[in-house]
Amino acid sequence: MMCISLYTSRVVLQTLGVEDYGIYNVVGGVVVMFSFLNDGMTVSTLRFLTFELGRGDAKRLNEIFVTSLHVHLIISAIIVFLSETVGLWFMLNELVIPAERHVAAMWCYQLSIFTAVVSIMSYPYNAAIVAHEKMSAFAYISILDAILKLLLVYLLLVFDMDRLILYAVLFACEKLLIRMVYNLYCTRHFEECHYRWVHNKALFRQMSTFAGWSMWGNLAAVGFTEGLNFLLNIFFGPIVNAARAVAIQVQGAVSQLARNFQMAINPQITKTYASGQRDEMHTLIFRGTRFTFCLLLLLCLPIFVEAPMLLELWLKDVPEHSVMFLRLILIVMLVDHSTNPLAIAVNSTGNNKKYEFVNGTIMLMTVPVAYCVLHEGGAPWSVFAVYLIVAFIASIVRFFIAASLINLSVKAYLSKAIGRCLLVLLLSCVAPIAISQLVGTGIIDKLIIFAVTFAFTGIMCFVVGLDQEERVMILSKLTKKKRLTN
């Protein structure tokens, strides 16, 4: 999926052109801006489903699923209303869109609203798959998703019409089909996903309260992603939005590895908490932090080192500022994603108020600080520098709050998780620094640097990033797979 995602992004950018590509991303971002209303409920649904699976109450499980459907329906209606009022006004009056592209931008906007509603109503089904840890379902459906994206690119090249409108239509249809597949799978495999009328006021209030505090944290997430996107558009126009979109595409492709791994380990963290196995939960947090960091570093470091060469090979015509955007986003991703197991552990307790409020408040500072920097003449990349600094501060604060909520030893976390991660990072940087002194600056030389950095980082992750038990486990699984293959 990572390879196909990067390929399709290249073709879409070349087909639409830099300006239309930037328009699509910033216009769709207006609808995404309201997604914080739903993101909190998504976290709440997953937490309550997973927790109840850990307790084994089938009736309660169905009540949670149906209640989450009702809440998501309400949220969909609110997002449609806000998108067609406040969001529409913002798009027409504040965003920088060339006059001749207003009609196409409106098509993109309305189809983005449709796609958002389709996704929102499908989240309870996705949460059921994650809670049951049926990762094979995600694998097979992801393959279908990748094939449909390739078909989308082919159709984009075949039909002779406004390609920005065509892309928006095809993308909406593709998302609708994938969501239908997810829903069909869940209704056929999970008993609790069969709808029956449930009206449990206490459960509704409990899930909504939990979602409300998660919503505050997700408001911050939307603020520092789409908020920065809007600032770039207002100060520099849609061309810079295209550069940001390129960096985000690479980030999304790389972080897919971490998200998929965390998707597998997150339910285990919640279930161990629900069953009272605190030591096992802490071990999963240490392991999840290290594994996530190593998986990301394995791709982020080689890409960071050779970003100019890789973007040129990928896109040919690289939008200005893309390299700096990408490098800063990769660092933010390492900082942010690696601490996600702590957030899952906090959500497992059901007491997320302090964690979400403090984290959300800190991260919301990204946009006003970035605005001040741009207002004083800052370069486009400066907004991501602000993002990185704020994210680093927030990660430290998040850690201490989470540690107090889940009785996690600060010393143990620093030694068994963060310390190992930092050591892997420092040792992995040796290879690109050393090899760059020995080779030239040609394309072959740069490919050699990329390959050596990737290989050396992998070795450091395996030798230093994993403990003895984890190394033995991985080797035994690889040996078992080799025997089965033979």
Which tokens belong to 246? 């390129």
* Residue 365 DSSP SS3: coil
Whether the per-residue pLDDT at 7 is higher than 70: the answer is yes
Sign for the CA dihedral angle at 28, 31, 370, 331 comes to negative
Dihedral, CA atoms, 252, 254, 256, 259, nearest 10 degrees? -100
- Report the C-alpha gap between 225 and 62 in whole angstroms: 34
* Residue 376 DSSP SS3: coil
Which tokens belong to 114? 């449709």
- Report the C-alpha gap between 452 and 445 in whole angstroms: 11
Could you tell me what percent of the chain has a pLDDT over 70? 87
- Report the C-alpha gap between 417 and 289 in whole angstroms: 6
Sign for the CA dihedral angle at 212, 216, 221, 222 comes to positive
Q: Which residues, including other chains, have CB under 8 Å from residue 59's CB and lie 6 or more apart?
A: none
Higher-confidence residue of 174 and 49: namely 174
Amino acid at 335: V
| pLDDT for the residue 425 | 92
In the numeric block, the tokens 């963060």 are attached to 418
Q: Give 224-267 pLDDT, tens digit per residue.
A: 677 777 788 888 877 787 788 778 778 877 777 777 777 777 77
| pLDDT for the residue 423 | 92
Q: Could you tell me if 388 and 328 are in contact, meaning their C-beta atoms sit under 8 angstroms apart?
A: yes
- Helix (H) or strand (E) run with residue 362 in it: helix 353-364
DSSP structural state of residue 159: S
Q: Could you tell me if 64 and 45 are in contact, meaning their C-beta atoms sit under 8 angstroms apart?
A: yes
Higher-confidence residue of 35 and 125: namely 125
- Report the C-alpha gap between 123 and 128 in whole angstroms: 9
Mean pLDDT of 26-37: 63
- Report the C-alpha gap between 214 and 357 in whole angstroms: 8
58 burial level (CB within 10 Å; 0-12, 13-18, 19+): exposed
Instruction: State residue 132 phi and psi, 5-degree precision.
Output: -85, -5
Mean pLDDT of 321-348: 85
Q: Could you tell me if 28 and 104 are in contact, meaning their C-beta atoms sit under 8 angstroms apart?
A: no
Which tokens belong to 402? 């989470």
Q: Tell which residue, 412, 251, 265, has the closest CA to residue 332.
A: 251
Confirm whether pTM is higher than 0.75: no
Q: Could you tell me if 254 and 6 are in contact, meaning their C-beta atoms sit under 8 angstroms apart?
A: no
- Report the C-alpha gap between 222 and 244 in whole angstroms: 15
| pLDDT for the residue 337 | 82
Whether the per-residue pLDDT at 37 is higher than 60: the answer is no
- Report the C-alpha gap between 340 and 333 in whole angstroms: 11
Angstrom CA distances, 171 to 174, 184, 372, 402, stand at: 5, 20, 36, 39
Calculate the average pLDDT of the chain: 80
Whether the per-residue pLDDT at 182 is higher than 70: the answer is yes
- Report the C-alpha gap between 311 and 349 in whole angstroms: 43
CB atoms within 10 A of CB 273: 24
DSSP structural state of residue 467: -
- Report the C-alpha gap between 281 and 406 in whole angstroms: 9
CB atoms within 10 A of CB 254: 23
Instruction: Indicate the angle between helix axes 135-158 and 2-16, nearest 10 degrees.
Output: 20
- Report the C-alpha gap between 251 and 476 in whole angstroms: 32
Confidence of residue 211 (pLDDT cuts 50, 70, 90): low
Higher-confidence residue of 265 and 30: namely 265
Higher-confidence residue of 474 and 421: namely 421
Q: Give 366-425 pLDDT, tens digit per residue.
A: 888 988 998 888 888 888 898 889 888 888 888 888 888 888 888 888 888 888 899 999
Amino acid at 223: G
Whether the per-residue pLDDT at 49 is higher than 80: the answer is no
- Report the C-alpha gap between 129 and 123 in whole angstroms: 10
- Report the C-alpha gap between 303 and 298 in whole angstroms: 9
